[in-house]
Structure 1
Amino acid sequence: MNLMKNWCMNLSRESMWEWTILWRSNLSAVTPIRKCLQSCRRFRMNDKIAIYLRLSLADGDLKKGSKDESNSIENQRMLLHDYIGKQEDLFGEIVEYVDDGYTGTNFNRPAFQKMIVDLKQGDIKVIMVKDLSRLGRDYIGVGDYIEQIFPLMGVRFIAVNNSFDSMKLNNGTPGIEVAVSNLVNNMYSRDIAKKVRAALETNWKNGKATCTNVPFGYVWNKKGGQRWEIDPEAAPCVKKVFELALSGRNTTQIAYGMNELNLPTPGLYAKRKNLLMGSNPIIAPDSEMLWNAAIVWRILRRYEYTGALVMGRRKKIDVNTTSVRTLPEDRWIIAENAHAAIVTKDEYYQAQKAIRNVTPIQYKVGDDFALKGKICCGNCNRQLRHERQYGEMVFYCGYKRSAGKFSKCYGGYYREYSVNAKVARAIKTVFYALDVVNQGMQEKQSITVRCMDIEDLEKQAEAIRVEQIKLYESYADGVLRRDVYIEKKKTLSEKLAALQDSIQTEKEEQECADELDEEIRALTKQASEKTYIGGLTKECVDAFVSMVYLYDDQTMKVEFNCEDVIRRALEKYGA
């Protein structure tokens, strides 16, 4: 019966009914074939087996000469496929999800997240891993998936080497051995993290850098050795900053001087050289990437320019999180004379006098306003500041204040009540467009017509299939010659293929239309709920506005997060 099942799953749809006809004279053989075909077809349409493969950098598989065969991706794949082949209750389409080089201490892994998305869509019924450590080493997170998420989604989970199969649990919850295994995996991760940290600290003390970003003014040494060398293009900019500081200028005056000399900022230089920038680079035009006091301050505070390597400024709070904390300076690891110096130590300490003692920023508590996080300068694309001036709340470009005359940004204030009123009027145009679309939806019934078209095409396709069966029966009874049968069969197959393509195209268009109508209905519901009686509300802005750009006190651009939906709807239903 297993051989019959494997054979049937390899049959094409067309050959299935032909074999059924050939076995029609033998009912004892037809019955198991029909049942097998039905079960195979049903399983293949609905159920998939997901095998999850993971290898961490710490597992050693990515280094030649120290390959851990037990954890290699190839070994995991072979073990799981072999296990599936031996189980009679596991058959169907196998889908692989591979995270090669990702830690198991958290679940921020692309293939794992893709598997969870497919799981929510109901495409997966079985998830298999080599052992529990491949799923993850965070024992709390792994326990949540095994005990709550997977059972809630109706998914069977199997960890082969742990002999764990959720379908075979007696009381519906994993035993103590699974909890112990998860705890051991978590402890193993903590131990590995400590060893990795110790290895990094050893390299740092020996003057070897391990960070991805290199300070402005340096590049990686072409000879290797995890060391830096002076960048002949950028180093003069750093040298100039220290020269201006030694001349008695403060950070604001230094920034003014650097802009007068038209020297590139670290961000502009990295952009031009396609170098790695910070995690959240400002998307600003090149003309607005100017020097300011903050950039100067960061350069003057970098002890690395004296030739020392400074590492270990931050440390992860826990192995199972990506959050880090800044360590006090006495816990930093500093290796003197690790690379060539751009300034001397005396110059570095003298330049610190240019940095004035600044009062720490007093962050406002509860400073919430309707356009918070959605209002930018139209020239430099940076967030506008929001504060009280002359008895009223205003917006202004803080970058303009720091860059001075070299920036082309608007230097005045934008009154908040005036900006809110203009945005409110813009939102009213969206509501008006929704009214036009809804009226058009009521007048047109194109979806119903299209459904009728699909039903007609499917009836035509079914008639051709019946004709194919009759044609084959005539050939099997000897009524038709083989060459005539082949010719007619080819003609019918071509007609059927054309009809199936038409049906698929119509269904896709219908799905797109259904999605568009659903989005319009959702927007209409939001429009009815999000009002701005008594003033513009943050809820209304968050629902419809993507970003607001202010260019001067008269020019504004409002971007809506539903522009594309309304545009397509107006093209379909508009007058």
Structure 2
Amino acid sequence: MTAYTNKPEQITALYARLSQEDALDGDSNSIVNQKAVLSKYAADNGFTNPVFFIDDGVSGVTFDRPNFNRMIAEIEAGNVATVIVKDMSRLGRDYLKVGYYTEIFFVERDVRYIAINDGVDSAKGDNDFTPFRNLFNDFYAKDTSKKVRAIKKAQGMAGEHLTKPPYGYKVDPADKKKWIVDEEAASVVKRIFDLCIAGKGPMQIAKILKADKILTTKAYYAKQKGKLLPDNPYNWNENSIVGILERMDYCGHTVNFKSYSKSHKLKKRIPTTKEQQAIFRNTHEAIVEEAVFERVQELRANKRRPTKAERQGLFSGLVYCADCGSKLHFATCKSFSGSQDHYRCAKYKSNTGSCTAHFIREETLKAIVRQRIFDVTARFIENIMDFREMVYQQRFAEAEKKIQRQKKQLEQARKRITELDRIFKRIYEDDINGTISHERFLKLSAEYEAEQRELTEKVNAEQKEVDTYEQNKSNFDSFALIIRKYVGITELTPTIVNEFIKKIVVHAPEKIDGKRFQKVDIVFNFVGEIHLPTDSQTEQKEANKHEKTA
């Protein structure tokens, strides 16, 4: 039996905890009930200087709790004589950590520990059943976690939202399971996507929002709830912007199972792959068009960084070498005039390959792209149906034949898979009836299973190709919207370039009769390359021989 001596200035720590799962048990575990039990016990047994430490809505499997940590700090400072809880599960549901605190931490610091309902009092000596209670509490937490995960899994697979609405949405007052658009926040989300399309990176976007005094997500929610705004309420950070730009929910789709934890005791969430996620389309109103979202993901995959001269190439991240496939990097410096800015093959620049030193000036590329967009737009406006047919013939005529063959093969493969199911059933019955030997059954079933598995993999792969093809065909309408949006443009902007252009391929220049010829292939978003009847190689006049070489 351990003797405990209370110093007059020491406190009696009354600790109460309630997790969301515990709340399901009703009033028995409520904070109000725990406080009443603890107060009465302290008063009836002469414990002085009682101080409450309460963690409401915190799981018992984690020990990173605000008021638990505050109590531990008081113990380490020597200010606590006794810790009292309603029962041992209130201290926690991890038997290893609970054992550490009750058998080592409290003992070393001469702190008396009492769990009222479990009859545990360290002043009365060891309770042999205490470790088993800790273990049962741990089992309870594990079992509860399994049940909660199973419920969440079922809800997620049914297309229900598993998270709170992201910034830009709010819960529908008429149906708590639905999200509706929060117009004020949604306008900021749209602006963030527009700025990205305009060539701005997350850090640049954060600076723009801060300069315009746009409330951060945290500050916005505080304002909505009538609470005090946090310090630096306009201080957007790069990670917040990235989180918004990468969230597919803004297209109107529900994306479930984006992360998981390895254990109910671990807080860390691990991102899942796209294959592990469940996506339910058109479950709520979209804030961002899907075409815009996909374009933003492409742009973010080709991140652009401002140069030391603080100039950024209009086509940075979009220009590729026709010979080696490398990107053409934007080259400039403070001493350059705008006409000297150019794009140069990365492999030549870094001397890591055998690619030739071909390059193209940005002014020239601007003129080529602007003229190309003008020609395509003019052809579209002149006769939309002819333009559609031309694009179809160039991009889909040959592919159509292949897709039709694949569709026939898919139909045949699916019929064979169904037939194999019938065969399985038949040979299984023959095996049971003794019509064929069991060894023969095992051999045949293995062969049929291998064939069915191979066919299933083939069906999945070919169906994906067919789906992609059908999606590409429907993308013409998206391209048509962009054309109509920018009819009559006279100058290129980052937004126009990013909406129109997917990729630019620059070939090495050729000199013919003293003139410089350079072929440039332009791949448009949604429709790929477009070859107009009047197409020819782009001529770039030889630069003035006396001009300073970039």
* TM-score, normalised relative to structure 2: 0.45
* TM-score, normalised relative to structure 1: 0.43
